[in-house]
Amino acid sequence: MTTKEFLQQLITNPEQLSNLVEEAIEMAFQQGFLFRTCETPNSSEVVTYAPFTLFPSAVPKARLVQALEVQTHFNTLVDKISQDPDFLEEALASTIQADDFTARLVSIYRQVQQEGQTQSIVVGLNRSDYMVEQSMDGTSSLKQVEINTIAAAGFGVLDRLPEVHRHILRTTGLLKESECVQDTNMTPAMAAALAKAWEVYGQKKAVILFLVEDVQISQLTQRYSEIELWNRNIPVIRRKFEEVSRRGSLDGDKRLFIFLNQKMRLFITQNSYIGTQLAGTKKIQQVLASPGVLEKFFPDQPQVVEQIRATGLYTLDMGPEGDQTVAMALTNPHKFVLKPQREGGGNNYYGEDIVQVLQKFKNDQRRAAYILMDKIQPRTEQNIPLRKGLPPRLTTVSYEIGVFGAYVRYEGEMILNEALGPVLRTKSIEHDDAGVVRGVAMFDSPLVV
């Protein structure tokens, strides 16, 4: 019996379904697959299981391997773009006229460039997201959704989900399928990248600082990363952004000092990570899809260019090309996604919402705050989403494959460049946009087929 066949049988037996769901949730607690609750996001007194699917979702092996193989190239690309102010200025010239958020980032980036402060050590942790598009003839292809250089969450907790899924498959007699769910070990690999940077920094008293938001539903997942570092005898502290803003000050060398208490203070060298954030903007991804652009960053490497070139992204800059994009979107809005310059779920526009935005801005510079992308028609599966307060039911879902990457650059040389492993984020096809913390998507594991 396959997983699909078992699911069809399971929904006809409410008692068996209830027992299996309870077992899966208990296993999630046992593995530490936990979130804080929305009601008490800043307290660990009350926790719940992180949202996940009852069964792992089937992913074609060829597509998964393809996504993993190109991640080191994307690491290199992000790092090169972050160090190329001329390219960033040219690519984002129209966007900063229309989008205040991106304009502020570019302003900070310019200030750092003008002050001439360079950082000898740079660590990059990012995630490249894909969907598997299914053709009418049954063949599949990998389509990139986006690169996340800031909103690349998932480290820590996700290594604990494969064991939950394997247990459920074994419990239901699907032993062969259980062997197709692989461990990820992303958290140790991520910690190794941070440890490498700490090592080349060369100060044994140095600590790694985790900057966290005020609302911390997923804080428990971050703790696993910290534990990995403590296990390597690398001290870790965490501080909220507000606290750093309130207690921090810059010295003449642009080092940020944070006063921890009356006897201690911490300094952080001014860094170039703002360039990394700009490299992850949607406009940059659209520009990279244009002929001849990737070749600038990978000269004499046509195979790499071919492997990572995205298609189906369109400019909304003022001018004939942008006008053509507007007309195309207004004619067939359900074929596209309208994207602003943000990371994380919940920001995109679909269908008639695209029409409303573009009708308002079609002759206005403000349209350049967005890009247009072909809407991917993803492979769908049957699964049962598990989330606190959500009754379990058989649901048609689609997933995004996220591949984490890490790199360390030291004095201009890439000394670590790795693909850390995949994660699935799965949602009902009733939803266009995703986001686990937003309450739409669930964590999932690849069942490699």
Q: Is 347 annotated as a binding residue?
A: yes
Task: Tell whether residue 373 is among the known ligand binding residues.
Answer: yes
The reply to whether 185 sits in an annotated binding site is no
Give the SS3 label for residue 193.
helix
242 is in an annotated binding site: no
Please state, in angstroms and rounded to a whole number, the distance separating the CA atoms of residues 440 and 80.
34
SS3 434: coil
212 beta partners: 240
Q: Is 130 annotated as a binding residue?
A: no
363 annotated to bind ligand: no
282 is in an annotated binding site: yes
Q: What is the DSSP string of 343-371?
A: -SSS--EETHHHHHHHHHHTTSGGGGGEE
Q: Assess contact for 209 and 247: CB atoms under 8 A.
A: no
Whether residue 109 is annotated as binding a ligand: the answer is no
Closest listed residue to residue 419, CA positions, set 88, 124, 13: 124
For residue 143, the one-letter residue type is K
> Which amino acid belongs to residue 96?
I
To the question of whether residue 134 is assigned a binding role by annotation, the answer is no
Would you say 350 is a known binding-site residue?
yes
Q: How many Cβ atoms are within 10 Å of 24's Cβ, its own excluded?
A: 23
Does the annotation list 254 as a binding residue? no
**Annotation-wise, does 202 bind a ligand?**
no
Tell me if 374 is assigned to a ligand binding site: yes
Distance, CA of 442 to CA of 399 (rounded, Å): 9
Q: Is there a binding annotation on residue 340?
A: yes
Q: Is 170 annotated as belonging to a binding site? A: no
Burial of 246 (0-12, 13-18, 19+ CB in 10 A): exposed
Q: Is 148 part of any known ligand binding site?
A: yes
Question: Is residue 375 marked as binding?
Answer: yes
346 known ligand binder: yes
Residue 360 labeled ligand binder: no
Structure tokens at 221: 């997942």
> Maximum CA pair distance of the chain?
70
Contact 144, 401 (CB under 8 A): no
Does 339 carry a binding-site annotation?
A: yes
Q: SS3 breakdown of the chain: % helix, strand, coil, rounded to 5?
A: 40, 25, 35
Cα separation, 56 vs 445, in Å, equals: 5
Confirm or deny that 345 is annotated as ligand binding: yes
Residue positions forming the annotated binding site for Mg(2+)? 146, 148, 343
Residue positions forming the annotated binding site for substrate? 127
Residue positions forming the annotated binding site for ATP? 146, 282, 339-348, 350, 373-376, 400, 425, 427, 433
Residue positions forming the annotated binding site? 127, 146, 148, 282, 339-348, 350, 373-376, 400, 425, 427, 433
